Amino acid sequence: MTRRPLVGGNWKMHLLRADAEAYCERLRGESAALPADVALFPSAPLLALVARGLAGTPFACGGQDLHPEEKGAHTGDVSGPQLADAGCEWVLCGHSERRQDHGESDELIGRKAVAARRHGLKPLICIGETLDERRSGTTYEVLDRQLEAGLAGRPEPCAIAYEPIWAIGTGETATPEIAQEAHQHIRETLADLIGAEAAGSKRILYGGSVKPANAAELFSQPDIDGFLVGGASLDPEGFLAIIRSCG
């Protein structure tokens, strides 16, 4: 089963307009064919600028979150139609920082993924265990629960990002073996939920302190189909190096 790699760059709450413009200009100047699909996830005020800046390039754009309703009195939130209108193709659902900072439940994340599809967006559903959960041996239980709720019975289209929380922004990357073991487990659970064929074609990304120096070894694992990159995506050269390591 060949799966085209996918690499996401999650800018989180970083960068200003001038930085984003310079970043897009650098990507527009990248003429080499990309070995992966690529999406950037800027914060909401930068979305339209980045989508415009990347129009006509192979680089896509996505939101970092969406509200499950399409409009209404939800101050500070962003809707699926607004993301699509800004030029987004993707949206993150259930990033651990949303789960932790905003108390997002598994059930809410499933509703967000359903809403994303309704508005023509592809959800990138993020799952991952805390250090305590890993230490107490409940990693797979947590991943299975988050995965089933995130899919909400509707697997297409979407991609999954496995992001162990203990590896996000900490500099501590999961070893390729630990990551592969979790990815293989996720694919097996997907096979139970959506069938072996669909599970075999589903892209499962790894996220957690990925950088140019560790990307190739992680990518060599059979069930790692690309990356969701936080900190290292803020520098276009580092991000491009990570993308190239998927070739």
- Closest approach, Cβ 70 to ligand PEP, in A, equals 26
- Asked if residue 139 binds ligand PEP (CB under 6 A), the reply is no
- Asked if residue 204 binds ligand PEP (CB under 6 A), the reply is no
Q: Which two tokens stand for residue 123?
A: 């959800």
Which positions ≥6 away from 218 have C-beta within 8 Å? 173, 176, 179, 206, 210, 224, 227
- Asked if residue 209 binds ligand PEP (CB under 6 A), the reply is yes
Q: How many residues in the shown chain lie near ligand PEP by CB under 6 A? A: 14
- Asked if residue 153 binds ligand PEP (CB under 6 A), the reply is no
- Nearer Cβ to ligand PEP (81/231): 231
- Asked if residue 208 binds ligand PEP (CB under 6 A), the reply is yes
Q: Which two tokens stand for residue 95?
A: 């990033």
Catalytic residue status for 163: yes
Long-range contacts of 131-136 (CB under 8 A, 24+ apart): 131/165, 131/166, 134/164, 134/166
- Nearer Cβ to ligand PEP (39/229): 229
- Asked if residue 231 binds ligand PEP (CB under 6 A), the reply is yes
181, 211 Cβ separation under 8 angstroms: no
Catalytic residue status for 74: no
Q: Where are the beta strands (DSSP E) in 78-225?
A: 90-93, 122-127, 159-162, 204-207
Binding part of the chain for ligand PEP, among 28-36, 72-80, 109-117, 229-237 by CB under 6 A, reads 229-237
Q: Give the integer Cα–Cα distance in Å for 41 and 63.
A: 5
Q: Give the integer Cα–Cα distance in Å for 15 and 171.
A: 20
Question: Three-state SS for 116?
Answer: helix
Binding part of the chain for ligand PEP, among 71-79, 145-153, 190-198, 226-234 by CB under 6 A, reads 226-234
> Which residue of the set 104, 133, 163, 183 is catalytic?
163
- Closest approach, Cβ 191 to ligand PEP, in A, equals 25
What sign results for the dihedral spanned by CA atoms 157, 162, 168, 173?
negative
- Asked if residue 128 binds ligand PEP (CB under 6 A), the reply is no
- Asked if residue 169 binds ligand PEP (CB under 6 A), the reply is yes
> Which residues make up the interface to ligand PEP (CB under 6 A)?
10, 12, 163, 168-169, 207-210, 228-232
Residues serving a catalytic function are 95, 163
